[in-house]
Amino acid sequence: MAIISKPPLSPIGMQIMLWALPALLVLAYVLPFAGVALRSVTRPAPGLENYVRIVASPDLRMILYRTVLICGVSTILTVPLAYILAYYWVMGRAVTSRLMEICIFLPFWISVLVRAFGWMVILRNNGLASDLATFLGLPAEMLATGRSANSVVIGMVHFMVPFAVLPMASVMRKIDHRVLLAANGLGAAAPYVFWRVFLPMSAPGIYSALSVSFILSLGFFVTPMVLGGGRVTMIAEAVFVQMFQTANWGLGSALGIILMLFVLAVLWLVRSVVKLDQSVSR
């Protein structure tokens, strides 16, 4: 092969290769981001007007509050579900494990828009869920959540589960099975082994699943639009409205910056918790 016969890169070549990545980062991320940050304090006039408006406006505060609430609830539902799936995927017998794998990854490959419409067909007022409820003799509203915040949460959880499974599964794979056997050999019953040994050892996976899910959920756009009946406005949609509908780029940028501060705050929080957890367990 031609590639093998080529001489290794010269020192200058190495330098260029090394600097390519930060250069790309600056061009593709830092510069546009600086533009957004600048816009948020210069449009329509220089100053913090946009941020003041966000803090002062009950409507925008409501959107922020709703975003955090819906994302919090979806994350809290996603992580335990994903934990169970990850557990059986990693620890289960071959057949279970394979089945879990299919259940986790099949939806993973379907677009978020298709999934949102799929849930719409199921959850809408006279859809599959209400038919099922009628068949079971339950009130239709019990299963058919219609176009509402509840449906948005269902759609979001469904989307996020695979993302939460992956970090937890990778931590679970690294757990030394001999430790579990040892606990068992010392007389601990299976639930006790899980509770006192497996769960604490898999905790780092839970923390990263929590942060991945929450951060991912903050940016949801399509799912609330489709399943919320136009009423469940979250921050991503609020940014869209200011950018495209009212062309108020300053306010849109400020909302974007606030979204990013949220993300940074979550990352910082998770890091602190993990550090604390490590220092306690040592």
Partner 1 sequence: MNRNLTDDCLDLLQSQHAAGRIDRRTFLVGLALLGGASAIGGRFAQAADKQLVVTNWGGDAVDAFQKALTGTYASERAVDVKINGSGPTKGAMKAQFESGAVSWDVCDADPGATKSLGELGMIEPIDYGVVDRDQVQPGFAYEFSVANYFLSYVIAYDAKKFGDNPPTSWADFWDVEKFPGKRSLYKWMSGCMEAALLADGVPADKLYPLDEDRAIRKLEALKPHVLSYWDSGAESQQLMRDGEVSMALMWHTRANLVEQDTGGDVRWTYAQGILAPSGWAVIKGNPSGRAAAMDFISYCQDPQRQIELLRALGCGAANPKAHDLVPADLKPLDCSSAENVARQVLMDMDWYAARSDKALDKYLAMIAS
| Residue 64 interacts with partner 1 (CB under 8 A): yes or no | no
Residues 88, 91, 95, CA angle at the centre, nearest 5°?
65
194 vs 221, beta carbon nearer partner 1: 221
63 vs 236, beta carbon nearer partner 1: 63
CA distance 186 to 71: 42
Least separation in angstroms between CB 266 and partner 1: 24
| Residue 229 interacts with partner 1 (CB under 8 A): yes or no | yes
Among 64, 115, 116, 147, binds partner 1 (CB under 8 A): 147
Phi, psi of 47 (to 5 degrees): 135, 180
Burial of 150 (0-12, 13-18, 19+ CB in 10 A): middle
| Side-chain-facing half-sphere of 11: CA atoms under 13 Å | 0
Q: What is the footprint of partner 1 within residues 150-209 (CB under 8 A)?
A: none
Q: What is the footprint of partner 1 within residues 93-132 (CB under 8 A)?
A: 124-126
| Residue 233 interacts with partner 1 (CB under 8 A): yes or no | yes
Least separation in angstroms between CB 48 and partner 1: 19
Contact pattern from residue 240 through residue 259 relative to partner 1, giving x for each residue in contact according to CB under 8 A and a dash for the rest: -x-xxxxxxx----------
Phi, psi of 48 (to 5 degrees): -95, 20
205 vs 224, beta carbon nearer partner 1: 224
160 close to 214: Cβ distance less than 8 angstroms:
no
Least separation in angstroms between CB 242 and partner 1: 8
Least separation in angstroms between CB 152 and partner 1: 12
- 3 state DSSP class of 271: helix
Q: What is the DSSP string of 188-223?
A: --HHHHIIIIIHHHTHHHHHHHHHHHHHHHHT--HH
198 close to 175: Cβ distance less than 8 angstroms:
yes
Least separation in angstroms between CB 224 and partner 1: 10
Among 54, 63, 64, 152, binds partner 1 (CB under 8 A): 63
| Residue 39 interacts with partner 1 (CB under 8 A): yes or no | no
CA distance 143 to 81: 19
Among 55, 62, 182, 189, binds partner 1 (CB under 8 A): 62
Among 31, 142, 230, 267, binds partner 1 (CB under 8 A): 230
Q: What is the 3-state secondary structure (H, E, C) of 64-102?
A: HHHHHHHHHHHHHHHHHHHHHHHHHHHHCCHHHHHHHHH
Least separation in angstroms between CB 42 and partner 1: 13
Structure tokens at 232: 């469940």
- Judged by the rule CB under 8 A, the positions of this chain that interact with partner 1 are 59, 62-63, 66, 124-126, 146-147, 225, 229-233, 241, 243-249
